[in-house]
């Protein structure tokens, strides 16, 4: 069923001469990765590290010819999604078909109002909620 939905979106994008962009977000942290260490038998090892818990988030749009992305301090919220959509619209002169999941920032009123205000320049298709394997970004 999901394959038919995505195939329909691809045909629609071709028919309307739209660039298909898969958009998703991810976070990068300075947290250390889990490692192995040695200690004397019966003594628990203590690994000390000093860092802050700041993290950077990325929002990216992937298409057949490449990737467009932006980095942000902290989490990606509706304001960052809105800013990214505006930048995509300005960068790509052709009409866009955005394919993304149902994350909260994607569904916000401000994002929907902005998409509606583009007079069809930006079209939206959502990935099915029960099929994360259909998401090429994650």
pLDDT of residue 108: 94
- CB-based contact 129:102 (threshold 8 Å): yes
Relative orientation angle of helices 109-117 and 78-91, to the nearest 10 degrees? 20
Using the predicted structure, report yes or no on whether residue 101 has a pLDDT greater than 60: yes
pLDDT tens string 40-91:
888 887 776 666 667 789 999 999 889 999 999 888 999 999 999 999 999 9
pLDDT of 93 reads 85
Residue 6 reports pLDDT greater than 70: no
Tokens of 60: 């990216």
Compare 36 and 123 and report the one with higher pLDDT: 123
Average pLDDT over the chain, rounded to an integer? 84
Q: pTM for the whole thing?
A: 0.73
69-81 as b/e: b if 16+ CB within 10 A:
ebebeeebebebb
pLDDT for 1: 47
What whole-number percentage of the chain has pLDDT above 90?
50
Is the pLDDT score of 137 beyond 60?
no
Looking at residues 96-109, what average pLDDT do you find? 93
Q: Locate the DSSP E strands across the chain.
A: 18-29, 55-63, 66-73, 95-100, 122-126
From the list 61, 73, 67, the residue with the least C-alpha distance to 27 is: 73
Question: Three-class SS of residue 111?
Answer: helix
Q: Are 27 and 137 in contact (CB under 8 A)?
A: no
């Amino acid at each position: 069923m999901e394959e038919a939905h995505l195939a329909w979106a691809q045909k629609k994008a071709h028919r309307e001469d739209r660039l298909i962009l898969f958009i998703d977000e991810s976070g990068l942290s300075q947290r250390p990765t889990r490692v192995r260490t040695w200690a004397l038998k019966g003594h628990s090892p203590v690994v000390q590290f000093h860092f802050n818990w700041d993290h950077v988030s990325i929002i990216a749009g992937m298409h057949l010819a490449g990737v467009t992305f932006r980095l942000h301090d902290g989490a990606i919220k509706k304001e960052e999604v809105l800013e990214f959509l505006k930048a995509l619209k300005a960068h790509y002169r052709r009409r866009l078909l955005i394919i993304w999941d149902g994350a909260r920032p994607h569904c916000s009123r401000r994002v929907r109002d902005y998409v509606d205000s583009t007079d069809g320049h930006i079209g939206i298709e959502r990935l099915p909620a029960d099929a994360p394997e259909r998401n090429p970004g994650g």
